[in-house]
Structure 1
Amino acid sequence: MSRKGAFILLLLGLSVAELGHAQQPAQVLGKSAVKTEKPPKAKKLSRKERKALSRRAELEAMQLQKRPLSEKDQEMSEAFFVDGLRYLMLEDYNKALERLLKAYALSPANAAINYKIAETNLLSGNLSDATNFAQSAVKLDPKNAYYYLLLAQIYTSQKQYDQAAKVYTTLIKDVPDSGNYLFNLADLYMAQGKLNEALSTFEQAEKKFGTIDEVSFKKQQIYLKQNNLDKALQEGEVLIASNPEEVRYVLAQAQMYAANNRFPDAIRVAQQALKQDPENPQARMILADVYRQQNNPQESQKQIKLAFENPGLDIDNKVRILIDYIKQLPNPALNQSALELAEATTRTHPKEAKAFSIAGDIQTITDHKKDARASYLKAIELDNTKFQIWQQVVLIDAELNDVEGMLQHTNKALELFPNQASLWFYNGVAYMLQKQPAKGIKSLEYGRKLATDNPELLAQFDTQLGDAYHEVKEYAKSDAAYEAALVFDANNAQALNNYSYYLSLRGEKLAKAKEMAGKLVKQNPDNDTYLDTYGWVLYKMKDYAGARQQFELALKTTKDATVIEHYGDVLYQLGERDKALAEWQRAQKQGGASALIDRKIKDKKLYE
């Protein structure tokens, strides 16, 4: 093949590889052409550099246009062109543009060169020059569709949609077999919001190519934007008629009826979908929504349950629906339905952690705590990376007073989330409740270091540490911890109660203990625990009459052995020893009194 012949084929659009083979680029470009290593991308040419290159090419082109192109110039132009294409493929736009402009300077009337210069400018962001060269390419070869498409793309990049539409119109009119670009033109009109023009163009396409599903869908969207529901529904019927086996078109039609409050039609078409696919969950959900809006909750719930029993309704849809339920819970009218749907979700998606997680949420809200914990643990078994689920498990352990479970679960969770202060808190509490104060203190002290940016949690740590330090008889640390907790919240009930009670047991700072306990009782006059603490502080201050009053108030609402025993003690101090003995005996029978209770009863004497 001659070089001239290869160049003609190149202009007709053969691939760069074919052009390179025909031109033997290693000979034309020199030794550098055989290198396979991709050079680093150069920076974009500056605006000044691009103008200089273009101006030089124009001057050279003007000189060359005055004389015929020699064979040598033809060969040089071809070489520069092929070299430019190579750099373009390597995305080195600076060098590509330099070579292409040299080819252009030798052969400015070559449409292919103008086209590639336009493309290179587009890729490098120089839209102005891209426009000029693309326009030239179209003028030089008005029958090449690719030149029009590039020009339209350049106009679109500049948001010059009207110009782009004109290019498509000219292309469709002047270039044979270009009717398929009607779809591009219609989409362009839709993007501009020119709905009538888009409809007209789609209709031209349908006349040429027949009914096309995608076109019908787009026409539906246009009609809906124009509030022309009848036309949109008509397009839906066309889709159904032309695709009788496609249930998705039936569902889309039913959804359109439902969205526009055409409930009888929505029910009719959804039931038509169920005749084609009896288990279809989308049809069930459409019916459920329609029945809900018709105030038919029983039928609505029936359809939702049928949909949830089908694994074909994906887990994300189910979770989204269950979240809507959660927003309305607890609600006696919805609790059972929500629980049943959650159970169906876990049954149909047994490998989905999110199914068990959402079920646990619903069970928690509806006060099915043990079931919730089981669901959360199953979610963790499937995916143990969600801290929030571990946290829910531990909180339920605490609510159920399951100390062993709380210790087990916090230890496991801390292996995965060692920087979560709340886990250390509950771990420490669990050890305290298991009578392992040393381990409890270790966890609480470590967790407290992690909670410095959370004052509320920090106060909880301090309160718990106050209890823990008291257990190991580190009273100074205990008092300091309680004081720190009360700095954050002067009404911290646990700190006020325990601090004052432990001070009374030690017989220290009784005035302060009385102040704290009295404050707590004033705020909570019916709390038997706080009344007992206040009564015991008064007892230690030898205010036996005041103490008796507090214990008698507490005993109205409790049968706690400690309170009964304290009441017996104060009666003994008041000289009512027979009554005191009776109260001690009652405390012993109740169970949970102090280790001294047996001696008190045996000797009929107060021991402290």
Structure 2
Amino acid sequence: MKFKHALLGLCWLSAAAVAQSNMPGRKPLTSVDSLMVQQLYFSALREKTIENLPQATELFSKVLQTDAGNDAAMYELANLLKLQSKRAEAQQLLERAVTVKPDNEWYWVSLAESYEKTNNIGRLQHVFDELIRINPDKPEYYFDKANALYLEKRYDEALNTYSKLEQLTGPTEDLVAARRRVYLRQGKVDGVAEELERLIVANPNETKFYLQLGELYNANNFPDKALHVLQRGEKVSPQNGMLQLALADSYRAKKDNETSFTHLEKAFAATDLDVDQKVRIVLGYLPKFPEPNAKASATALSKILADTHPNDAKALAVYGDMLLQSEKYKEAKVAYKKAIQLNNGIYAIQEQLVRLELGDNEVNEAIKDGENSLSMFPNQAWMNYLVGVAWLQKKDPQKAVAYLKNAADLETQDKELLGQANAALGDTYHELKDNTKSDAAYEKALSYNADNAYTLNNYAYYLSIRGEQLDKAARMSKRSNELQPNTPSFEDTYAWILFRQKKYSDARLWMEKALQHDKKQSAVQTEHYGDIMFYLGDTEAAVQNWKKAKQNGAQSPVLDRKINEKKYIE
């Protein structure tokens, strides 16, 4: 443990002091020896100053050969030996030096540092007693003595030393903290509490002392005392975020969740509480999702977070995330856009925004925001995919294919993305009438995820339109319906494939399922149902469904001919 004393780098002594160091029973130096000692000593100091340490060491040693009791040379040589990691020799010299000059403060300081480095804690008390004798008004020496006593587990003596120090300095925060450490080691919670109460009395507006005392009581299973202290602190500083957070914890421990959440809201409204800490609290609710209360609490807190820190992108992004979790997509988009305006260097926010825009069929917005994001983050595979899908929805497959190929080329590990990108490429190449590349893309997509229902459905449907590999198409379509039952578009695909296979009764069964599950009355499915009914010999039902398809928005010369000629036309 580090002591607080500061070591003196150089000890500039007068020539007389150097030459007249006396030890009891020591033969006085002749004038010639005295002059030689002075010359050697100052030569050694010069070598030390220019960092010629080996020469300085040799010269100080020569001083001691002539004048064995020269304490100044002992001190200087000891410090040089410390630099050379010869601590045992240095320590012996310093012990001799303090014997020669027991009132030299710097000798004792250096000896204390030596004992500390060699972990000779047992001898430190005596050293600090001497330092206090020499300089009784220096607080550091009392602290160091008490610290040494603490390390030797002489706790009562350490406390006694702190009491003497208090007579010198009065109550200070460092002193109270030191005493607290001793009391905690002794298991005397009341002693620590008394020290903190003294600080509160001396500093009634300093909230950290209320927090420290509350934490002490909570850590030692005195929740009622902790709550009382924190309530006192709240009266002093009702807007303090840390106090409100501590109160929330206290009430939660007492199972008073409603009051706890009220204080949590106050904590989030406090500007002194760090944004990151608030974010961590909000994210702590995620493991409890989809529990409605957890979602509601997280959303409420994140709104306060965003309102309290309106210029912090992270705060707005977290609010957007919580709105997204609560399926409040429009509000989430607003939060994300504000976050991006504040800081456009956070890619994850931009991806969330573009996903929401695509989900709301805001294709132009998705393309604009997505391409803007790619101008800063061109190697983001997911964003390339999203922009590619947006261009495909905008009926521009030529632009779509470039982004989708980028997505597939940039990613090598994410099987979900690779599957979706290749599936989208299959759709895109179909639009470009490149069936070979379309089929290859679908096959690659299925190699990453053989049970992607949408990929299976689309691939099967396009094969059926071309009248190719109908058995394979039927297997894929049937599988998509097993994976995602009651999906009208999937049921329509399977019915259409069965129709192309001339399995009209089975086709009728699946088309009726599609019509039953389709709430939008799809014109395509209605027209397909008419086609099936025609081949089942019910021309009247066929014409009725063709007319219904036209009423629902289907428009094509072929459909008109079916109605007018009352027969199926390829």
- Give TM class, smaller chain: 0.7 to 0.9
Residues in 2 aligned to 1:180 and 1:161: alpha-carbon distance in whole angstroms: 17
Change (3 A) 1:476 1:169: farther
5 Å-filtered alignment, 1:547-566, equals: 547-558=507-518, 559-566=521-528
Confirm whether residue 148 of structure 1 aligns to residue 103 of structure 2: no
Confirm whether residue 466 of structure 1 aligns to residue 426 of structure 2: yes
Confirm whether residue 382 of structure 1 aligns to residue 382 of structure 2: no
Residues in 2 aligned to 1:402 and 1:121: alpha-carbon distance in whole angstroms: 77
Confirm whether residue 575 of structure 1 aligns to residue 537 of structure 2: yes
Residues in 2 aligned to 1:257 and 1:489: alpha-carbon distance in whole angstroms: 56
Equivalent residue, structure 1, for 2:61: 104
Equivalent residue, structure 2, for 1:545: 505
- Structure 2 counterpart of 1:437, from 392, 397, 406: 397
Unaligned segments of structure 1, at least 5 residues:
1-11, 24-64, 88-94
Deviates more, 1:469-478 or 1:331-340: 331-340
- Structure 1 counterpart of 2:79, from 107, 119, 134: 119
TM-score in terms of structure 1 length: 0.81
Task: For residue 601 of structure 1, report the CA deviation from its aligned partner.
Answer: 2.5
Q: Which amino acid aligns with 2:200?
A: I
Q: What SS class does the counterpart of residue 556 from structure 1 fall into?
A: helix
Higher relative contact order (CA 8 A, sep 6+): 2
Equivalent residue, structure 2, for 1:535: 495
Confirm whether residue 250 of structure 1 aligns to residue 210 of structure 2: yes
Q: What SS class does the counterpart of residue 43 from structure 2 fall into?
A: helix
- Structure 1 counterpart of 2:275, from 309, 315, 319: 315
- Structure 2 counterpart of 1:485, from 420, 445, 454: 445
Task: For residue 213 of structure 1, report the CA deviation from its aligned partner.
Answer: 2.2
Q: What SS class does the counterpart of residue 230 from structure 2 fall into?
A: helix
Task: For residue 245 of structure 1, report the CA deviation from its aligned partner.
Answer: 4.2
Q: What SS class does the counterpart of residue 378 from structure 2 fall into?
A: coil
Residues in 2 aligned to 1:568 and 1:353: alpha-carbon distance in whole angstroms: 55
Change (3 A) 1:213 1:499: same
Q: Which amino acid aligns with 2:45?
A: F
Residues in 2 aligned to 1:191 and 1:398: alpha-carbon distance in whole angstroms: 66
Confirm whether residue 288 of structure 1 aligns to residue 248 of structure 2: yes
Residues in 1 aligned to 2:429 and 2:149: alpha-carbon distance in whole angstroms: 76
Equivalent residue, structure 2, for 1:79: 43
Change (3 A) 1:383 1:203: same
Confirm whether residue 241 of structure 1 aligns to residue 210 of structure 2: no
Deviates more, 1:385-394 or 1:198-207: 198-207
Residues in 2 aligned to 1:477 and 1:130: alpha-carbon distance in whole angstroms: 83
Residues in 2 aligned to 1:537 and 1:195: alpha-carbon distance in whole angstroms: 89
Q: Which amino acid aligns with 2:427?
A: D
8 Å contact 1:111–1:137 — kept in the other structure? yes
Change (3 A) 1:536 1:442: same
Q: Which amino acid aligns with 1:101?
A: E
Deviates more, 1:405-414 or 1:220-229: 220-229
8 Å contact 1:596–1:607 — kept in the other structure? yes
Task: For residue 78 of structure 1, report the CA deviation from its aligned partner.
Answer: 0.3
Task: For residue 471 of structure 1, report the CA deviation from its aligned partner.
Answer: 1.0
Task: For residue 557 of structure 1, report the CA deviation from its aligned partner.
Answer: 0.5
Confirm whether residue 324 of structure 1 aligns to residue 288 of structure 2: no
Change (3 A) 1:296 1:218: same
Deviates more, 1:117-126 or 1:338-347: 117-126
Deviates more, 1:418-427 or 1:285-294: 285-294
Unaligned segments of structure 2, at least 5 residues:
1-6, 16-28
8 Å contact 1:148–1:167 — kept in the other structure? yes
Change (3 A) 1:415 1:13: closer
Residues in 1 aligned to 2:274 and 2:265: alpha-carbon distance in whole angstroms: 14
TM-score in terms of structure 2 length: 0.86
Confirm whether residue 341 of structure 1 aligns to residue 301 of structure 2: yes
Q: What SS class does the counterpart of residue 57 from structure 2 fall into?
A: helix
Q: What SS class does the counterpart of residue 69 from structure 1 fall into?
A: helix
Residues in 2 aligned to 1:387 and 1:157: alpha-carbon distance in whole angstroms: 51
Residues in 2 aligned to 1:591 and 1:131: alpha-carbon distance in whole angstroms: 101
The alignment yields a C-alpha RMSD, in angstroms, of 3.2
- 1:149-207 residue CA offsets vs partner (Å, 9 max, x unmatched): 33333443344444555543554456665563121233355567765554343234234
8 Å contact 1:121–1:130 — kept in the other structure? yes
Q: What SS class does the counterpart of residue 423 from structure 2 fall into?
A: helix
Equivalent residue, structure 2, for 1:517: 477
Change (3 A) 1:72 1:260: closer
Residues in 1 aligned to 2:440 and 2:126: alpha-carbon distance in whole angstroms: 82
Task: For residue 218 of structure 1, report the CA deviation from its aligned partner.
Answer: 2.7
Residues in 2 aligned to 1:248 and 1:437: alpha-carbon distance in whole angstroms: 63
Residues in 2 aligned to 1:473 and 1:449: alpha-carbon distance in whole angstroms: 22
Task: For residue 529 of structure 1, report the CA deviation from its aligned partner.
Answer: 2.0
- 1:514-568 residue CA offsets vs partner (Å, 9 max, x unmatched): 2222232334442222221111112222222222222112222013222221111
Task: For residue 235 of structure 1, report the CA deviation from its aligned partner.
Answer: 1.4
- 1:475-530 residue CA offsets vs partner (Å, 9 max, x unmatched): 11111111112222222222211111111111112222122222323344422222
- 1:359-402 residue CA offsets vs partner (Å, 9 max, x unmatched): 12222222222222222222222222222222222332333333
Confirm whether residue 607 of structure 1 aligns to residue 564 of structure 2: no
Change (3 A) 1:512 1:219: same
Change (3 A) 1:401 1:80: same
Q: What SS class does the counterpart of residue 575 from structure 1 fall into?
A: coil
Change (3 A) 1:512 1:125: farther
Task: For residue 321 of structure 1, report the CA deviation from its aligned partner.
Answer: 2.5
Q: Which amino acid aligns with 1:240?
A: I
Q: Which amino acid aligns with 1:415?
A: S
Q: Which amino acid aligns with 2:313?
A: A
Change (3 A) 1:524 1:312: closer
Q: Which amino acid aligns with 1:563?
A: Q
Equivalent residue, structure 2, for 1:305: 265
Residues in 2 aligned to 1:601 and 1:193: alpha-carbon distance in whole angstroms: 103
Task: For residue 134 of structure 1, report the CA deviation from its aligned partner.
Answer: 4.1
Equivalent residue, structure 2, for 1:60: none
Equivalent residue, structure 2, for 1:6: none
Equivalent residue, structure 2, for 1:597: 559
Residues in 2 aligned to 1:291 and 1:468: alpha-carbon distance in whole angstroms: 58
